[in-house]
Copies of this chain bind each other. A is one copy, B any other.
């Protein structure tokens, strides 16, 4: 207690939040030494480090984020850029949860930045770039030629995408294998005797629209089925329009005997439309759907579903940005989840 008085005397502490200064005072060391001890620098004695760490733990010391950020530019923030047009059924909560599980073990905070994708997808990215408000970014709704990816790559901002691009830039991503999903869907449908299949795909601007189309067309050829057009319907068409279209389709002389959907909520409308036309799931028609939460099977057990594990996606995305921030090569931070089919009632 008294041998501290010989030292340069920083200042005794109040009941406030402890800082490096507090620890320096308690240990009788310099602020610099404490700082370096806590980051395990090589020029600090082993015994000193131990002592500093002990006192720090004792005081419940937590580095002041503003101090670190001001000095180093490191924000300890991961930004999740969400489109407000995104599917509602549990997508966001699961994504946030997955990311948080990974971030929970770190100093990183998660800042959520929703915005209208339709209006201008670049806005949030430019904001983050201009203000340096995040160390890493997670984006979704990828396009084959994506300006956000181009800009962040150019400006060296670590990021990861939920979905792939196709522009010759290697970047971290996590994706669901929509091609395999649709291909396997066709296969299963044909095995169940279906031949005339419709595909409710995403908007054509998105990468996964292309993937699902490729899977679909490969499937049609490999398993000998034919396509029934969904017209201008996409997964983002208002549900009522989808319902109406599905009903019209069902009343055609030669209606589809199966529909493959890439959106859980759109599938609800498909079911409503086909049933309104008197066609029964599992009998006259099969509907296959991807979903982000297990709810379709509760509604219609006859439905064939694949549940995209969005929580797992969130985990992978978070791990990838963190690794990217740590300098891991983009090529090593790419993963694709295979579709997992829900066990089905009837047969199969």
**A97 near B: Cβ within 8 Å?**
yes
Question: Measured between C-beta atoms, what is the minimum distance from A267 to chain B in Å?
Answer: 10
Q: Which of A32-40, A57-65, A165-173, A329-337 contacts B (4 or more CB under 8 A)?
A: A57-65
Interface residues of A in 51-69 (CB under 8 A from B): 60, 62, 64-67, 69
- Mark A257-270 against chain B: 1 for CB-CB distance below 8 A, else 0: 00000000100110
The residue in chain B whose Cβ has the minimal distance to the Cβ of A301 is: B272
Contacts A66-B69, A70-B67, A131-B65 given: A299-B268 contact, CB under 8 Å?
Answer: yes
A111 and B266 alpha carbons, distance in the complex (Å): 31
CB neighbours of A112 from chain B (8 A): 96, 100, 110-112
CB neighbours of A100 from chain B (8 A): 112-114
**A45 near B: Cβ within 8 Å?**
no
Question: Measured between C-beta atoms, what is the minimum distance from A276 to chain B in Å?
Answer: 10
CB neighbours of A111 from chain B (8 A): 109-112
Q: Is the CB of B17 within 8 A of A89?
A: no
A69 and B109 alpha carbons, distance in the complex (Å): 16
**A94 near B: Cβ within 8 Å?**
yes
> A88 touches which one: B94, B131, B272 (CB < 8 A)?
B94
The residue in chain B whose Cβ has the minimal distance to the Cβ of A90 is: B88
Interface residues of A in 1-56 (CB under 8 A from B): 17
A17 and B69 alpha carbons, distance in the complex (Å): 15
Kindly name the residue among A60, A114, A131 whose own CB sees the greatest number of chain B CB atoms within 10 A: A114
Contacts A88-B90, A239-B298, A268-B299 given: A62-B96 contact, CB under 8 Å?
Answer: no
The residue in chain B whose Cβ has the minimal distance to the Cβ of A267 is: B298
Q: Is the CB of A272 within 8 A of B293?
A: no
**A237 near B: Cβ within 8 Å?**
no
> A65 touches which one: B67, B90, B92, B133 (CB < 8 A)?
B133
In order of increasing CB-CB distance, the 6 nearest A-B pairs are A92-B93, A66-B69, A66-B70, A88-B90, A100-B114, A268-B298
Residues of A at under 8 Å CB distance from B?
17, 60, 62, 64-67, 69-70, 75, 82, 84, 86, 88-94, 96-97, 100, 109-114, 130-133, 239, 265, 268-269, 272, 293, 295, 298-299
